Amino acid sequence: MSPGRGGPRPDAVTALAADAYVYGSPLVRRLSAVQACLQEGCGVLAPAPFNDFAHADGPAAPGSHVPYAPADLVDALAQLDLSGGPVRLHVPDTGGAYYVLQFVDAWSNVFAYLGPRATGTAEGDWLVVPPGWAGTVPDGLSGVIDAPTSVVSVLGRLACDGPQDLPRVRALQQELTLTHLGDRAHRTGLPATDSGVPGELRFFEELRVWMADFPPSAPDRAYQDRFQPLGLLEEGISPYGSAGPGFVRALRRGLAVGRLRVEEAARRAGTTAGGPPGAWRTVPHLRDYNLDHFGVGTLRAPQWTIPDRETAYLVRAMAARRARLLPHGYEAVYAHTSCDSRGHPLDGARRYVLRLAPPPPVRGFWSLTVYDSPGGHLVANAEERYAIGDRTAGLVRDADGALTLHLSARRPEERAAAANWLPVPPGRFRAVLRLHLPGQDVLDGRYVIEPIAERTARPGARTSGV
């Protein structure tokens, strides 16, 4: 397989390889992450075999070294392999407390959600079945989740209201279980690639093998047929182990072009927010690239899908590049800023206020967390308070019903300000406001979060307890 007489020109191979990177990098990144979770763990989560949950010990804390990890949610993660048949998922009753289980296929498509918005918080059992399964559904189930690929990831987030709430969360972790019901043994690892392929072509080898084992939807299969000149549709012996130098150069250039295309798209998306200095940025539509698989809890409405398939591939590649499995905006909106209302970087040497007038309209909960910049890590403080939100006890509202949150390295002297205080790192920092189950005003842009403002004088507003 090499360009030359009777084959594609090198520039054509380069162009195709760039398209293949944009199209296929989400599959390679997602399955590489699955492999790492099986063998090495993920962040603070220990490694776990297929069809078993790994649980965090608690919410993120200083020293966890997971960038922008939430300080009021406890993570759970499972990699499911359905090659041997269905898996039964038991979800405990959370007593009304927020949680979400987010299902992601091998191509990074979020195809199902369980949780208060989609299914409520009562106890239930769900059957997760592989593509094309036609077996008998056991009695007593809450429902069936059709997986688009035989390997999927389940990312769980359990709300936690602080150390005193950990026993409740840990009891839920014990009840969140998976049972393999198939009549055949499931995999213990991912399909193997040819170890003889040189590192510079590993991406194409992994894409070739995994694309065959985890086929996408029919429209995507029609699109990926165009990659035949690259050897991506060949079965058996890898075409990359003995590829000619001209072909290798063309593939390498294509990889570079494809990566640059994704990076440029991400850069443009990050600089088009507009608005006043210190405006909060959100990415509620980063998961809208799923066009074919809409299971429990997903929305197929036009505002949550990208009609052009090739545009969807680019957005999917951008989302995969971030490496964090963010949910759809209708499940949670994450707003962030690193500047104040004058456009100056947020810095722990100054005191700030964030006025929420009114507080965010959500059906779940909202919380504010700050991280060091540029690392994105929690920084220890004497109060051991790393998030503040509508579940924080003792918040004091302004006379008009608004909330004024105080962000500073030192505890404010005023009683109301101290009650509404979030400690910040000593240097530059970034603020993240998470809105779980956001209201329609958030989703359509009518609710605007005011920029964080530097506090230059003692506030004079009258206050009243919540």
- Model pLDDT for residues 367-392, shown as the tens digit of each residue: 999 999 999 999 999 999 999 999 99
Quick: pLDDT tens for 7-35: 678 899 999 999 999 999 999 999 999 99
Phi, psi of 253 (to 5 degrees): -65, -40
Do 303 and 352 reside in the same domain of the chain? no
Do 343 and 406 reside in the same domain of the chain? yes
Mean pLDDT of the chain: 93
Quick: pLDDT tens for 156-169: 999 999 999 999 99
Do 15 and 128 reside in the same domain of the chain? yes
Identify the CA nearest to 156 among candidates 107, 95, 89. 89
- Is it the case that residue 439 has pLDDT exceeding 70? yes
Parallel, antiparallel or unpaired: strands 87-91 and 177-180:
antiparallel
Which pLDDT value is given to residue 465? 41
Please report which confidence band the pLDDT of residue 63 belongs to, taking 50, 70 and 90 as the band edges: confident
How far from 415 is each of 388, 395, 412, CA to CA, in Å? 16, 10, 8
- Is it the case that residue 461 has pLDDT exceeding 70? no
Do 373 and 390 reside in the same domain of the chain? yes
Contact indicator for 369, 445 with CB cutoff of 8 Å = no
Q: How far apart are CA 285 and CA 303, in angstroms?
A: 9
Do 290 and 343 reside in the same domain of the chain? no
Do 319 and 362 reside in the same domain of the chain? no
Do 361 and 267 reside in the same domain of the chain? no
Contact indicator for 359, 405 with CB cutoff of 8 Å = no
Last residue in a domain, options 260, 291, 323:
323
Do 389 and 278 reside in the same domain of the chain? no
Do 17 and 145 reside in the same domain of the chain? yes
Which pLDDT value is given to residue 340? 97
Mean pLDDT calculated for residue range 87-108: 98
Number of domains within the chain? 2
Do 340 and 317 reside in the same domain of the chain? no
Which pLDDT value is given to residue 56? 96
Quick: pLDDT tens for 132-145: 999 999 999 999 99
Q: How far apart are CA 375 and CA 383, in angstroms?
A: 22
Which pLDDT value is given to residue 182? 81
- Is it the case that residue 2 has pLDDT exceeding 90? no
Please report which confidence band the pLDDT of residue 360 belongs to, taking 50, 70 and 90 as the band edges: very high
How far from 225 is each of 218, 291, 424, CA to CA, in Å? 11, 19, 52
Neighbouring residues of 390: CB distance < 8 A, sequence distance ≥ 6: 359, 360, 362, 365, 366, 367
How much of the chain is in helix, strand and coil states, percent to nearest 5? 25, 25, 50
- Is it the case that residue 457 has pLDDT exceeding 80? no
Contact indicator for 409, 385 with CB cutoff of 8 Å = no
Q: Residue 157 maps to which CATH number? A: 2.60.40.1610
Which pLDDT value is given to residue 8? 75
3-state secondary structure of 464: strand
Structure tokens at 323: 């490496």
3-state secondary structure of 407: strand
Residue 171 lies in domain:
1-323
CB atoms within 10 A of CB 334: 21
Please report which confidence band the pLDDT of residue 274 belongs to, taking 50, 70 and 90 as the band edges: low
Query: If you ran DSSP here, which 8-state letter would residue 75 be given?
Result: E
CB atoms within 10 A of CB 28: 20
Last residue in a domain, options 305, 323, 341:
323
Do 109 and 246 reside in the same domain of the chain? yes
Mean pLDDT calculated for residue range 97-121: 98
195, with CB counted inside 10 A (0-12, 13-18, 19+), is exposed
Q: Residue 422 maps to which CATH number? A: 2.60.120.1600
Do 376 and 318 reside in the same domain of the chain? no
Tell me the whole-structure pTM to 2 decimals: 0.94
Which segments within 314-357 are labelled E, that is strand? 332-337, 352-356
Mean pLDDT calculated for residue range 233-244: 93
Please report which confidence band the pLDDT of residue 65 belongs to, taking 50, 70 and 90 as the band edges: confident
Last residue in a domain, options 271, 299, 323:
323
Parallel, antiparallel or unpaired: strands 396-398 and 151-159:
unpaired
What is the sign of the dihedral through the CA atoms of 320, 325, 329 and 334? negative
Mean pLDDT calculated for residue range 393-400: 95
Which pLDDT value is given to residue 319? 95
Which pLDDT value is given to residue 5? 44
